[in-house]
């Protein structure tokens, strides 16, 4: 049975549909972060029962990232094959399981509660693909994808600010704080998932512009990778570097801000991320005006390259005392997310359209994500055992330089590869838009 809201969306103006769909996706993924990132607001100094060489917080981050990475590996198959009608229920069930794991984290003493963070990350890794499944394959997928990406840029700072507030002002312990933060966002999660389930599927005009989106079986996935392997490999390597550094900056923001002299200011988490979200949203949404799928793909390579250069040059300016700490953190965040956000939505959506192959961008997103979070684990292990004498801030500076240089090189090579690939006449340019709400 078609609901009244869905019927309204089918007849709505493009602007109304975009606002409704974008807000629903933004709120759904924003809410997910309330179950994933609040624990990063705590520093976990001396923890009773923890007597290991590895830092307790690094162990927590590694456990959650390991669960998240395993989820991404599982998601390569699950996200590419899941039916649209099942996405909403899957989001609610998976996030519910992650919240139960946070309760376990609070109730189980160290060191055993580290395992709860693994169980927390295990379901959450598939949420992005489920939410983005509602957004892809539309003629304004760039706008919807940019809004969705802005959610994880902004939400990470906001939920850490909420977590810090719960600890400092409400006096909730660092161990119960993550579950309490998640509970605060449960109503928003429920409403936003319901709204996503009301969205009509892409229409014929969308399919003509961006290729029909359907689940991909194993043979189709292998064929796509075989056809575009070198370009995909270079992009995935770039994404591994980005994910590792972005995750480090996100998980250890409290330590970085302490090193910069802002350790007791809860609002700094949000203040540093809000400009980043606005910048990334604007840059990515602007790609919508590029109708030619190859050109759009190359423009996104240019945006990614600009992000890598911003990361490196802003760090150089900070070390030369040309930038204060807050502007530097904003610019490093801007550089990271300018390069990072295209991978999570628009880049692979356009790659599917460029290829002319029926499929889903979720498959490529999860190939990149699975690799990226393995890189994140490797960076944390290296930090704890190989670079243990280096403080958090200097380690971040060194990693920013390495990421900037290597990532820029991989991006240039990937762009050259796709430039040499000739698009088919039917997929190189999108068709003219029609006045249909579901055809966004």
pTM here? 0.69
**Which DSSP state fits 170?**
S
Q: Which domains does the chain have, with CATH numbers?
A: 1-203 (1.20.1250.20), 215-422 (1.20.1250)
Specify the DSSP class assigned to residue 267. Answer: T
> Scanning the structure block, which residue is given the tokens 């240089």?
405
User: Do 40 and 252 form a contact (C-beta atoms < 8 A)?
Assistant: yes
- The burial class, CB within 10 Å (0-12 / 13-18 / 19+), for 53 is exposed
Q: Which of 48-57, 137-146, 300-309 has the lowest mean pLDDT?
A: 137-146
Q: Following DSSP, what letter does each residue of 223-266 receive, concatenated?
A: HHHHHHHHHHHHHHHHHHHHHHHHHHHHHTHHHHHHHTT-TT-T
Q: Whole-angstrom Cα distance, residue 28 to residue 92?
A: 10
pLDDT tens by residue, 241-265: 998 888 888 777 777 777 777 655 5
User: What per-residue confidence (pLDDT) applies to 428?
Assistant: 42
Residue 292, strand partner residues: 429
Alpha carbons within 13 angstroms on the beta-carbon side of residue 232 total: 22
**Alpha carbon of 162 to those of 61, 99, 151, 185, 397: distances in Å?**
19, 16, 16, 11, 27
Instruction: Supply the mean pLDDT for the chain.
Output: 82
Residue with tokens 């909403």: 88
Q: Which residue has the tokens 């996104």?
A: 300
State the number of CA atoms in the 13 A half-sphere of 104 facing the CB. 16
- Of residues 88 and 149, which shows the higher confidence score? 88
Distance, CA of 154 to CA of 163 (rounded, Å):
14
pLDDT number for residue 302: 92
| Bond preceding residue 111 cis, omega within 30 of 0 | yes
Q: How far apart are CA 278 and CA 201, in angstroms?
A: 28
Contact 339, 307 (CB under 8 A): yes
| Confidence band of 440 (pLDDT split at 50, 70, 90) | very low
pLDDT of residue 425: 44
pLDDT of residue 129: 85
Q: What per-residue confidence (pLDDT) applies to 426?
A: 39
Bigger pLDDT: 155 vs 386? 155
Residue range 211-222, pLDDT digits in tens: 566 667 778 788
**pLDDT, tens digit, 9 for 90 and up, residues 117-151:** 999 999 998 998 899 888 877 777 777 877 887 78
């Amino acid at each position: 049975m078609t609901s009244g809201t869905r019927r309204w969306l089918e007849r709505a103006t493009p602007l109304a549909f975009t606002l409704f769909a974008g807000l629903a996706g933004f709120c759904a993924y924003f809410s997910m972060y309330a179950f994933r990132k609040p624990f990063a607001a705590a520093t976990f100094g001396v923890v009773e029962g923890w007597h290991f060489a590895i830092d307790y917080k690094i162990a927590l981050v590694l456990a959650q990232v390991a669960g998240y990475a395993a989820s991404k590996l599982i998601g390569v198959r699950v996200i590419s094959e899941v039916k649209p009608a099942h996405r909403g229920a899957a989001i609610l069930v998976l996030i519910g399981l992650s919240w139960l794991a946070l309760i376990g984290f609070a109730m189980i003493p160290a060191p055993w509660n580290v395992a709860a963070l693994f169980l927390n990350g295990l379901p959450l890794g598939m949420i992005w693909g489920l939410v983005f499944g509602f957004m892809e394959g539309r003629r304004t997928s760039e706008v919807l994808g940019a809004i969705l990406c802005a959610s994880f840029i902004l939400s990470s700072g906001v939920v850490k600010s909420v977590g810090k507030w719960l600890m400092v002002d409400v006096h909730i312990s660092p161990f119960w704080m993550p579950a309490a933060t998640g509970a605060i966002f449960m109503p928003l999660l429920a409403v936003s998932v319901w709204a996503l389930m009301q969205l009509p599927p892409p229409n014929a005009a969308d399919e003509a512009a961006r290729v029909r989106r359907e689940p991909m079986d194993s043979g189709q996935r292998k064929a796509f990778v075989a056809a575009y392997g070198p370009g995909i490999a270079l992009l995935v390597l770039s994404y591994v570097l980005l994910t590792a550094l972005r995750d480090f900056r996100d998980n250890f923001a409290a330590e970085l801000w302490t090193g910069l002299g802002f350790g007791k200011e809860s609002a700094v988490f949000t203040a540093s991320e809000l400009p980043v979200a606005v910048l990334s949203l604007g840059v990515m949404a602007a790609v919508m005006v590029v109708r030619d799928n190859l050109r759009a793909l190359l423009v996104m390579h240019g945006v990614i390259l600009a992000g890598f250069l911003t990361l490196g040059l802003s760090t150089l300016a900070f070390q030369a005392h040309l930038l204060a700490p807050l502007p530097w953190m904003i610019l490093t965040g801007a550089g990271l997310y300018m390069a990072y956000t295209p991978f999570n939505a628009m880049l692979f959506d356009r790659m599917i359209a460029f290829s002319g192959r029926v499929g889903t961008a979720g498959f490529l997103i999860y190939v990149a994500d699975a690799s990226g979070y393995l890189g994140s684990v490797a960076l944390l292990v290296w930090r704890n055992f190989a670079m243990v004498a280096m403080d958090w801030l200097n380690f971040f500076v060194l990693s920013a330089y390495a990421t900037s240089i290597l990532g820029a090189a991989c991006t240039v090579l990937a762009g050259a590869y796709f430039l040499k690939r000739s698009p088919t006449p039917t997929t190189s340019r999108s068709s003219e838009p029609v006045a249909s709400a579901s055809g966004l």
